[in-house]
Amino acid sequence: MPNRVLVMGDSMSLAHVARAMVMARRLAGEGADIVFATGSAHLALARREGFDPCEMHCVPPARAYDAIRSGSHIFDMPTLVRYVKSDLALFQRVRPDLIVGDMRLSLNISAELAGLEYWSILSGYMTAFYAAPSRPPRTLPLNRLLGQRVSRLVFPTIKRMILRRFANSFRRLRSAWGMAPVRDIFDVMASPYRNLIADLPAYTPCASLPDHFDFVGPLPWEPNTPDPVWLDRIAPDRPTAYVTMGSTGDPSALRRILLSLRDSGWQVLTTIGTHGSAPDGVFAADMARGSTLLRHSHVTVCHGGSGTVYQSVAHGVPVVGLPTFHDQETNMERVEALGWGAGLDPNRWRPADLHAALARVRTDECRAAVACGRAAIAASVARFEQTSWLAPRSAAAPVRPDRAASGRRCEAGGSSATQAASMSLRFRSSRLFPSPFFGTESFSPCAPIPNRNCGQ
């Protein structure tokens, strides 16, 4: 069993940090020495959750959301290079035996350079094996330009092109190192060692999954924060909606929803986070535990994030979703397919559509489907807690070619090695990188580290 595990939650989104923290706690419960790392946007949160986090470079959340909503590319070459350099410096400091990353795409390169095993936490629809039918995302500019009918015809081809394009920087950097090529961004996201799918199989059905992909189920998380002071003022006999746009929703849509629900007689509970202020007549908190608010709610109105969906259904509450980018649209497709709720058109919804969706999810049929989902989530969470994820598995080589053959592997192994082989990576060497990629500094990812405590 690995002794020291570096868990990396990329702070481009709270969801990736949250899932990484849940996994870190589970592995710590198995006796692993956990080092947790995230970006500056979520360091304070990680500390409040009891971690002593290392800081690593991450794209700021606002920049990531803008890129995703516009259908553009987050990892240009300078960004990817900075990520890889940050990873290697962190490996040098921590000396992990194993890395677990959530949306840390640079591990596709950095872990291979350092000869370290890494696992990826990912969503089922972020794999090449996702098998559920899907429509062209209505939030993508292409769909708004061509219309739904034409988009349906060309979307499969366009999707393949986009997935390949998003991997361009990774392909170039891997080629510069003489690494095996990647086909598309799904190849980048997946680990050649182990992949932990944070979903129910019914929620993200996948076909022909390889042996190194495992469904670990939803990884429920909520902030360690006091309950709102207004909790005892909630009227138990009124229809109540819990409204949240998470960290990625549309602030203007949030306000429209709050006003529409309030003015139509709903009792409204909301967490507004960084999305401005709530209107009068709404119970609002910057952050609160979803489980507390859901115990008082009849429906959740949200952005369609998988974490909010799973948390709501786990408490027997149906979902009305207003997605703001394609991942959330995929989530809402699955919510509707399983009968857990209803989605709104992100481009043209009106208050009347919101209230029609609220009526649809308050039916006996929807309640029964949500009850089934609740049981499935409870069983999955129990299995996650009972499974020893660090237990030895049948020996299997990584899917990619053996890294040791390239001469870049640290033969001394991880932190348990007493005589580590030094591997100097001179990034401006003409043999390795042209000058636009890296500066002149060197890294020795396998050199002894006198103090791994990132809090000091």
**pLDDT-derived band at 399, boundaries 50, 70, 90:** low
Whole-number pLDDT of residue 155: 77
Q: Using 50, 70 and 90 to split pLDDT, how confident is the model at 432?
A: very low
First-last CA distance in the chain: 27
How crowded is residue 261: how many other Cβ atoms within 10 Å of its Cβ? 25
Give the range among 43-57, 272-286, 329-343 with minimum mean pLDDT.
272-286
Backbone angles phi, psi at 172, to 5 degrees: -65, -45
Widest distance between CA atoms in the chain:
72
**pLDDT value at position 143?**
67
In the predicted structure, residue 118 carries a pLDDT above the cut 80: yes
Per-residue pLDDT at 272: 85
Which residue would you say has higher pLDDT here, 278 or 26? 26
Q: Which of 240-244, 268-272, 328-332, 423-427 has the lowest mean pLDDT?
A: 423-427
Phi, psi of 306 (to 5 degrees): -65, -35
Cβ proximity of 195 and 122 under 8 Å: yes
The pLDDT assigned to 142 comes to: 66
205 has pLDDT over 50: yes
Q: Over 90: is that where the pLDDT of 408 sits?
A: no
Name the residue with higher pLDDT: 376 or 404: 376
Q: Using the predicted structure, report yes or no on whether residue 420 has a pLDDT greater than 50.
A: no
Alpha helices in 107-147 (DSSP H): 107-114, 141-146
- For residue 144, what pLDDT is reported? 67
Per residue in 158-177, pLDDT (tens digit) is: 888 889 999 999 999 999 99
Is residue 341 a contact partner of residue 321, using CB atoms and an 8 Å limit?
Answer: yes
Q: What is the mean pLDDT of the chain?
A: 85
State residue 141's pLDDT score: 67
> How far apart are the C-alpha atoms of 198 and 204, rounded to whole Å?
9
Does the pLDDT of residue 409 top 80, yes or no?
A: no
Averaged over 233-262, what is the pLDDT? 90
Percent of the chain with pLDDT over 90: 69
pLDDT reading at 318 higher than 80: yes
Please, what are the domains in the chain? 4-122+128-189+399-429 (3.40.50), 231-386 (3.40.50.2000)
